[in-house]
Amino acid sequence: MTKYIESMSDGVLAPTPERLAVIYSEIEHLQHLVGDLRTLSQADAGELTLHKQPVAPEELIQRAQAAFEHRAEQQGITLQVAPQGATPPVTVDEIRMTQVLSNLLSNALRYTPPGGQIVLGAAARGDGVELSVRDTGAGIPPADLPFVFNRFYRADKSRSDEGESGLGLAIVKALVEAHGGTIEALSELGRGTTMLIHLPTA
């Protein structure tokens, strides 16, 4: 990108709207990457500030569904909340947990074809609450499954996922663990992927 800007500065390339849009997109991508790395650095150092308060798990997933419903419709994907019984509240930072669900939904939408389905769920499990994001996408190869939460790891090497930092699932794991929770990925090739988040109750 630096040479691109230098070429325009030197008059070799004209600063057209299209070329400026490319530069702006790259700047946004770099800003996103820096923000993601800062979040992970803070989590690693135990310096991630969390503003926790009791929240109903149903509210978290319903809000996530509402935020991504239009995008899912545009892609021809059904996004719904599974029927559920009452679940105890969890003590979380709502902004950070919204980030967790947003990252998981973005991934699910990226790998689920038109006509597919994504289901969000919340249920009481043992001494806590389980949040789930299930999709009917391509699935993850068994050999890749243990590494999906690693930084910059991509199960599908043929995809560059332009605009993505490659840190989405690493951030999800760091934020969930900062809340005293755990996350697990279950997947079957050609059948889809399920992300399970277990959080302690309030």
Q: What is the pLDDT of residues 76-96, one digit of tens each?
A: 999 999 987 789 999 999 999
Residue 160: the pLDDT is 42
Alpha-carbon distance of 169 to 153, in angstroms, equals 9
Q: Report residue 31's pLDDT band, with 50, 70 and 90 as the boundaries.
A: low
**Is-contact 2 133, C-beta < 8 A?**
no
Q: Output the average pLDDT for the chain.
A: 83
Angle at 183 between CA 177 and CA 189, to 5 degrees: 150
Asked if pLDDT for residue 30 goes beyond 70, the answer is: no
**Residue 50 confidence class, pLDDT cut points 50, 70, 90:** confident
How far is Cα 192 from Cα 119, in angstroms, rounded to an integer?
A: 11
As a whole number, mean pLDDT of residues 108-125 equals 95
pLDDT band at 70; cut points 50, 70, 90: very high
pTM: 0.78
pLDDT at 201: 87
As given in the structure block, the two tokens for residue 36 are 């993601």
Q: How many Å apart are CA 106 and CA 134, to the nearest integer?
A: 12
CB count, 10 Å around CB of 92?
28
What pLDDT is attached to residue 158?
38
pLDDT by residue (tens digit) across 140-198?
A: 999 999 999 988 776 654 344 444 556 889 999 999 999 999 999 999 998 999 999 99
**Could you tell me if residue 3 is left (phi over 0), alpha (psi between -120 and 50 degrees) or otherwise beta?**
alpha
CB atoms within 10 A of CB 108: 27
Other Cβ atoms within 10 Å of 169 Cβ, number: 20
Q: Write the DSSP string, 63-78.
A: HHHHHHHHHHHHTT-E
For residues 133 and 164, which has the higher predicted lDDT (pLDDT)? 133
Return the axis-axis angle of helices 94-111 and 57-74, rounded to nearest 10°.
30
Task: Give the pLDDT score at 43.
Answer: 72
Number of Cβ atoms within 10 Å of the Cβ of 197: 27
Give just the sign of the alpha carbon dihedral 46, 52, 58, 60.
negative
28 vs 119, residue with greater confidence: 119
Q: What is the pLDDT of residue 13?
A: 63
